[in-house]
Amino acid sequence: MSDDTRAADGDGEEEPVLFDAPPMGEQERMVEAMLFASAEPVSARDLAERMPKGSDPAEALQHLRRRYEGRGVRLVRVGDAWAFRTAPDLGFLMQTETVETRKLSRAAIETLAIIAYHQPVTRAEIEEIRGVSVSRGTVDQLLELEWIRFGRRRMSPGRPVTFVVTETFLDHFGLESARDLPGLAELRAAGLLDSRPLPGAGEAEAEEEDDASDPGQGEMFEE
């Protein structure tokens, strides 16, 4: 190459290049360094702006991509940019599991117990049994835990939605069906209820015999 090495600009004219482009191996190293140092994917255009004149980051990327095949990290394309990512089959090594203990409030425990023993039950019925209003946060917490879900709407004015407990609830407490729900005394012994009477408890206990004689009432899940 002559001393007046030139490169074409956007108008088709050539501008002088003072130095030859680095060998492709060196260009790969440059691209590799920039991708590792960047917290975000980097486009070939951004790479070219940082590399010496005459470099070909697009080609360097392809060489680098082949070199990382089968490795613990891979060079992947993200839209118009490139980034290093953990090999999919090794993703499990990056996972961490945390056990978070969340204690239900008395309101949530009472609401859950009422739903479990009176299901399907509407919000108005829960409030009537408890004697106080049910906050949206209490219901949302139980829905988030997937211990309750929405049941059928009642065929009454306003078509209020009902609540029932879920399979997740049954699984958590080791129950096969709602018929296996423990008595209130057992719940208190397990520490799930305190010693104070649960609002509507007498009514719930009185209905246990009725549930046994009415197969439809004790059914846990509705169509």
Mean pLDDT of the chain: 78
Quote the DSSP letter at residue 92. Answer: G
Cβ pair 87, 176 in contact under 8 A: no
pLDDT at 211 (0 to 100):
42
Handedness of CA 129, 134, 138, 142 (dihedral sign): positive
pLDDT at 209 over 70: no
Task: For residue range 27-71, list pLDDT tens digits in order.
Answer: 999 999 999 999 899 999 999 999 999 999 999 999 999 999 999
What letter would DSSP give residue 14? Answer: E
Bridge partners of 163?
121, 150
Work out the percent of the chain whose per-residue pLDDT is above 70.
Answer: 73
Q: Give me the count of residues in the chain.
A: 223
pLDDT score for 192: 55
pTM: 0.42
Mean pLDDT to the nearest integer, 181-204:
57
What percent of the chain is predicted at pLDDT more than 90? 31
Tokens 């990512």 map to which residue? 85
The answer to whether residues 36 and 45 touch, using CB atoms and an 8 Å cutoff, is no
Quickly state the pLDDT bin for 137 (edges 50, 70, 90).
confident
Quote the DSSP letter at residue 43.
Answer: E
